[in-house]
Structure 1
Amino acid sequence: MTANIFVIGLDADNARVLERLPDAENHTFHGLLTPDELQHGDIDIADLLDKAEQVLDAFDGPVDAIVTFWDFPAATLVPLLCELHGLPHVPLEAILKCEHKYWSRLEQRAVIDEMPHFGVVDLDDAEPRLPEDVSFPAWLKPVKSFSSELAFRVADEEEFSGAVAEIRAGVGRVGDPFEEVLGKVALPREIAEVGGAACLAEDALHGVQAAVEGYAYQGKVTVYAALDSVDYPESSSFLRHQYPSQLPEEVGQRMKDVARRVMERIGFDNGTFSVEFFCDPQSGQVCLLEINPRHSQSHAELFELVDGMANHDVMVRLGLGQPPRHRLGAGPYQIAGRWYLRRFSGDAVVKRVPTAEEISALEEKVEGVRISVSPAEGHWLSELPEQDSYSFELAQLIIGARTENEMEEKYRTCVDELHFEFGDAA
């Protein structure tokens, strides 16, 4: 029998990855809600649930799994829908303990020391201040947002005031529907008081960024991979994610141990997760940055290039109630990266992007490379969804190589031949 697997937020790129999984011939993947419905405009939780239920109820056949590789609202819709259909899923409360940045920090503090000082900034105060334990430089961010939206690194009171004003103006778009989902579980007093549209402040972390990926199955937490996140010089914007991590092995083991303890504390089960860190390669110290209650779909092709199988396979098997599997090092390359070509010099109209023919020729010329362009001609860069606060994404490049140096050389070759043009008016 073919298993019917409904994927919340399924897009064309991830559909192709899913169809390349080892057991794909035994699965039929169905999209359930589009990325646009989930992430753009107002987020109406009741409406999204109703739309999803209409699709599932009208389906002529068994619903064998409901899964996703997206954060809120998708990650919270999965347990709500799975509960209705009697399917394996992560408990909703565990999802929310990951998604709510302040609640997550409180849970982490109970079992680890590897974390920054943190506290809530009162957005309703006429003169908001940093929490007592937090000092400049600091990061301000909503307790729930998309990607790095409304996340600001502030060095002084002036930057703090500007960031607070922007967060105050925009926090409700995601925070208000997030609070609606929070209302579906019994909240501790500290979380009920701050709600879902609050602002978190944390000491700025230092070092290099990295992450681990893992899963929980039948009460056991397994962390099976470590990856690096490399920033642009003098910036907090990602230049690339690469797998496997090039950090010392003891640093990777420390990250895995911290992640395991935290996910056990949260009560995470029957699902995938990724945990982000800042690391000091010299001292070996690690500091937990953020927990995501899903594996990273942006890493899927990296696992495919190095291990011969995307991390989506773990999500699918858990959704079906099956034990996960992983086969390390079975792919054609020893290292792979997802690179981000960015513009830092402000908003502009896109006058020209690389043509499909140019991209195809470049992919043929540089072996192990796949390129996707983000903006469209005639549009403002500011119209791009889910951008960080400091840059605009022009293109993504998936690159497989034998060494990190070879991967960097392939990236530079591609960037030299990707021709964009910008202007001030359409």
Structure 2
Amino acid sequence: MKKNIFVIGLNAFNLEKLKRLRGAEDMEFHGVIEPAAVYDTEEFDIPAMLSEAEAQLSAFDGSIDAIVGYMDFPVSTMLPILCGKFGVRTTSLESLLKCEHKFWSRTVQQEVIPEHIPAFTAFDPFDDKALSRIGEAGLSFPFFVKPIKSSGSRLGFRIDNPEDFDHAIERLRAEIGSIQEPFNFVLDQADLPKEIRQVHGGYCMAEQVIGGRQCTVEGYVHDGEVVPYGIVDSIRYPQVLSFFYYMYPSRLPANVQDKMGELTKRIMSHVGFDNSAFNIEFFWDEVQDRIWLLEVNTRISQSHCDLFEKVDGISHQQVTVDLGLGQRPDMPSREGDYKVGAEFFYRVFFTDATVSRVPPPEEIEAAAAKVPGTFIRSQVHEGMRLSELPEQDSYSYAIAYIWMGASKQSTLLWNYERVLKNIHFEFTDIEE
């Protein structure tokens, strides 16, 4: 009998990768909740989505062997609720929230790795005295602000002066409600300490500015054993906060990678996270030789799937599926066709604009064919405003993703420029 794997928000791109996993011939993959409901919107009706998923799963005539996902909020937070109701494996909702609730996460990190986290405080964006309260907590300019729960750098701002703070507060007050309501629903399902329950989904975090060479440690916990298995470098555009590309494997020094692995094991064991995949974003401040923990995510990075497939031979969705089935992950290493893999973010740095031209499929296919192994996915369509794109940072818009493999980093960059010259987007009504 084939194992039935239910995937929240399953789309065609990821289904093809899942079908190439080890043991996939003995698995049947089923989508739960339409991809558009979790990809193409920033409005999440979690109770309705849970009801839809429960109805589909209850009506299924067969075994439910695993319920998994590879996306951030709201998918990650729905999984413990669904898995608990249908008796399949994942981590507890409380251990997941110790990672995803940014204030709770910093609080538990402070208990075991205080020298590797920045100064932080929570604040209410609707409090007119918020800036002075942040100062009373010991933070001074510059600092970052972000919602207690966000994804994709959404509503995150660097604050260098009071004017920056006023701008951030205006945006946060206008938009944080779309995060607050669904996240509060999830918080209501969990057993929370009183001091954490008071910091609800409408709150924000202020944190000391940290920086350096950024990377992501991908890992999992199986029956209490924390296993980091790969590090991906996150490289930004010069002088801005937006990501340019992710590259695997990391080029950080081996001793730095080893130290990040130790910190990963310490924090994930401390929060009680188990039988699930995760990733942790770190900075290495090369000048001070200091490692900072940026944040913990309670799922694999979907952006890294193709990178692992190119370098290691299969997507690290292998980890998610194996854990969902209660098995130790069977993840290969360096069995792929390339020495390095990357995902590039083709961005425009407008305040807003209307998309007047998107390269047609034949143009995209011809551009990708310039470099074997390249895959291009446009994120926009003609006539849309860039501000309609979900999950964007506060400084740019990613209009296309480009995945590539090569023998070394310099070749990746050279090939990216070759491909980019052959795809053409156009815009009107540009707001600089």
Partner of 2:84: 83
Partner of 2:405: 400
Deviations, residues 334-361 of structure 1 (Å, cap 9, x unaligned): 0000000100033111111222111211
Please state how far the C-alpha of 1:393 moved relative to its aligned partner: 1.1
Partner Cα distance (2:266, 2:43) in 1: 36
Deviations, residues 364-409 of structure 1 (Å, cap 9, x unaligned): 2222311111111121111111111110112111010000000010
Please state how far the C-alpha of 1:414 moved relative to its aligned partner: 1.1
Gaps of 5+ in 1: none
| Preserved CA contact (<8 Å) 1:247 1:281 | no
The within-5 A match list for 1:146-157 is 146-157=151-162
The within-5 A match list for 1:382-401 is 382-401=387-406
Please state how far the C-alpha of 1:250 moved relative to its aligned partner: 1.0
Partner of 1:257: 262
Partner Cα distance (2:387, 2:415) in 1: 29
Please state how far the C-alpha of 1:317 moved relative to its aligned partner: 0.5
Partner Cα distance (1:413, 1:2) in 2: 44
| Preserved CA contact (<8 Å) 1:145 1:171 | no
Partner of 1:21: 21
RMSD of equivalent CA atoms: 1.4
Please state how far the C-alpha of 1:42 moved relative to its aligned partner: 3.4
Percent identity between the aligned chains? 44
Residue number among 355, 360, 372 corresponding to 2:360 in the alignment: 355
In structure 2, give the amino acid aligned to 1:268: F
Partner of 2:371: 366
| Preserved CA contact (<8 Å) 1:248 1:281 | no
Q: 1:404 to 1:41 in 2, by over 3 A?
A: closer
Please state how far the C-alpha of 1:41 moved relative to its aligned partner: 5.1
Partner Cα distance (1:189, 1:371) in 2: 47
Please state how far the C-alpha of 1:220 moved relative to its aligned partner: 0.9
Partner Cα distance (1:256, 1:73) in 2: 27
Partner of 2:9: 9
Partner of 1:72: 73
Deviations, residues 173-224 of structure 1 (Å, cap 9, x unaligned): 1122211211222212221121122010001112111010100011111111
The within-5 A match list for 1:113-192 is 113-129=115-131, 130-131=134-135, 132-192=137-197
Q: Report the count of equivalent residues.
A: 425
Partner Cα distance (1:265, 1:81) in 2: 24
Deviations, residues 147-180 of structure 1 (Å, cap 9, x unaligned): 2111111101111121122112211211222112
Partner of 1:277: 282
Deviations, residues 201-250 of structure 1 (Å, cap 9, x unaligned): 00111211101010001111111111100000011100001100011111
Gaps of 5+ in 2: none
Q: TM-score, normalised by structure 1?
A: 0.97
Partner Cα distance (1:46, 1:160) in 2: 33
SS of the aligned residue for 1:291 comes to strand
SS of the aligned residue for 1:407 comes to helix
Partner of 2:56: 55
Q: 1:139 to 1:41 in 2, by over 3 A?
A: closer
| Preserved CA contact (<8 Å) 1:139 1:152 | yes
| Preserved CA contact (<8 Å) 1:250 1:284 | no
Partner Cα distance (2:399, 2:49) in 1: 30
| Preserved CA contact (<8 Å) 2:42 2:390 | no
| Preserved CA contact (<8 Å) 1:145 1:175 | no
In structure 2, give the amino acid aligned to 1:21: L
Please state how far the C-alpha of 1:415 moved relative to its aligned partner: 1.4
Q: 1:287 to 1:360 in 2, by over 3 A?
A: same
SS of the aligned residue for 1:241 comes to strand
In structure 1, give the amino acid aligned to 2:101: H
Partner Cα distance (2:394, 2:349) in 1: 10
SS of the aligned residue for 1:194 comes to coil
Partner of 1:333: 338
In structure 2, give the amino acid aligned to 1:128: A
Please state how far the C-alpha of 1:282 moved relative to its aligned partner: 4.7
In structure 2, give the amino acid aligned to 1:94: S
SS of the aligned residue for 1:424 comes to strand
